[in-house]
């Protein structure tokens, strides 16, 4: 029997957070079998109301390149809820959701992304405490999951409108640091906390406008991507606090990143600067994901440059270029 380092965390501290009121939100943990045929994976999203049947649950997606189920150039996999259970860990009204995966295409990967088990998920107590504290505080936290590197966790904030994104992300960061303080640990937002053959840490940013979300919105998304391509260096300078130096360690073209010197875009491609989710390509409307911002980025700056490039027009309606 192996003992995980997570077992040394103070469970009384976690319980203090788990007793916080979560308002009218529900945490739904989506669970699936990975490409090995025996490993289990999970990640959690926030719902606005308690689901009564699986028909009340939205489909979701995940990065199949990290679960032996796809490669990085076509990595969007779909989670289809098939069974609904009460959650014995977070208690009512929260749920466990068993899902099936639409496609299967085995590739090499590690066991940590969305992993389950003491030998795969390190620090879940902190992630759970942080999630509940954000819900209590009114932060728009919409999900969380273990990431590709051991002890690396992702949390998602949104949907937010405009500059409110920065308010909610900074508060979520503060709460994480404060939770870690209680556990006697330190959280790092370094874009490449461990050098070598490990994934870095980004602040992948989903962006859309009303027109992009309406029928035919894919055309607006493609227009925005054309403008982003012309200002790649400008965005790289804005996407980490050191003007691109931090991201230079992360954006190497490996480990599910694009090359810092080259702009690229693609459907379901986690090795591109801009990823268009599969569902958006199919529906021809929705949002795009800018995968370039670093985990330690200034979200106010990221919001500003995305709006400036994608929405603001110059005289004559000509696109921006990298010299502006």
The pTM assigned to this predicted structure is 0.85
The helix/strand/coil state of 170 is helix
Domain 205-317 matching CATH 3.30.590.10: the answer reads yes
Residues 240-275: pLDDT tens digits?
A: 999 999 999 999 999 889 999 999 999 989 899 999
The answer to whether 45 and 87 are in contact (CB under 8 A) is no
Bridge partners, 26 (sequence order): 47
CA distance 293 to 240: 6
Q: Which residue has the tokens 């640990």?
A: 185
User: Rounded to an integer, what is the distance from CA 87 to the centroid of its chain?
Assistant: 23
Give the residue range(s) of CATH 3.30.590.10 domains in the chain: 205-317
Task: Give the other-Cβ count within 10 Å of 201's Cβ.
Answer: 22
Fold of the domain spanning 10-183: Ubiquitin-like (UB roll) (3.10.20)
Residues 48-89: pLDDT tens digits?
A: 999 999 999 999 999 898 898 887 667 888 999 999 999 999
**Element (DSSP H or E) covering residue 47:** strand 40-47
Give the residue range(s) of CATH 3.10.20.70 domains in the chain: 10-183
Start-to-end Cα distance in the chain: 60
Among 206, 227, 190, CA closest to 322: 227
Task: Give me the tens of pLDDT residue by residue for the chain, a chain 324 residues long.
Answer: 455 778 888 999 999 999 999 989 999 999 999 988 888 999 999 999 999 999 999 999 998 988 988 876 678 889 999 999 999 999 999 999 999 998 644 474 579 999 999 999 999 999 999 999 999 999 999 999 999 999 999 999 999 999 999 999 999 999 999 999 999 999 999 999 998 888 999 999 999 999 999 999 999 999 999 999 999 999 999 999 999 999 999 999 998 899 999 999 999 898 999 999 999 999 999 999 999 999 999 999 999 999 999 999 754 444 556 655
The helix/strand/coil state of 266 is strand
């Amino acid at each position: 029997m192996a003992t995980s380092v997570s077992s040394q965390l103070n469970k009384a501290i976690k319980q203090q957070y788990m007793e916080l009121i979560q308002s009218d939100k529900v945490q739904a943990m989506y669970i699936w079998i990975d490409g090995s045929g025996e490993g289990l994976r999970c990640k959690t999203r926030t719902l606005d109301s308690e689901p009564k049947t699986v028909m009340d649950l939205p489909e979701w997606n995940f990065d199949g390149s990290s679960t032996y189920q796809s490669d990085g150039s076509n990595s969007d996999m779909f989670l289809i809820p098939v069974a609904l259970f009460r959650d014995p860990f977070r208690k009512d009204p929260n749920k466990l959701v068993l899902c099936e995966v639409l496609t299967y295409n085995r590739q090499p990967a590690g066991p940590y992304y969305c992993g389950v088990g003491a030998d795969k998920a390190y620090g879940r107590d902190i992630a759970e405490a942080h999630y509940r504290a954000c819900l209590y505080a009114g932060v728009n936290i919409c999900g969380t999951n273990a990431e590709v590197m051991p002890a690396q966790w992702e949390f998602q904030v949104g949907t937010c409108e405009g500059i409110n994104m920065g308010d909610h992300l900074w508060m979520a960061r503060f709460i994480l640091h404060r939770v870690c303080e209680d556990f006697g640990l330190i959280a790092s937002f370094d874009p490449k906390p461990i050098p070598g053959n490990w994934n870095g840490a980004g602040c992948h940013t989903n962006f859309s406008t009303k027109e992009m979300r309406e029928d035919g919105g894919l055309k607006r998304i493609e227009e925005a991507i054309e403008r982003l391509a012309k200002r790649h260096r400008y965005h790289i300078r804005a996407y980490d606090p050191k003007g691109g130096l931090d991201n230079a360690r992360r954006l190497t073209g490996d480990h599910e990143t694009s090359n810092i010197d080259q702009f690229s875009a693609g459907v379901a491609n986690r090795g591109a600067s801009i990823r268009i989710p599969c569902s958006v390509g199919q529906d021809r409307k929705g949002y795009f994901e800018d995968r370039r911002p670093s985990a330690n980025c200034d979200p106010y700056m990221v919001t500003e440059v995305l709006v400036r490039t994608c929405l603001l027009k110059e005289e004559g309606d000509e696109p921006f270029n990298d010299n502006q």
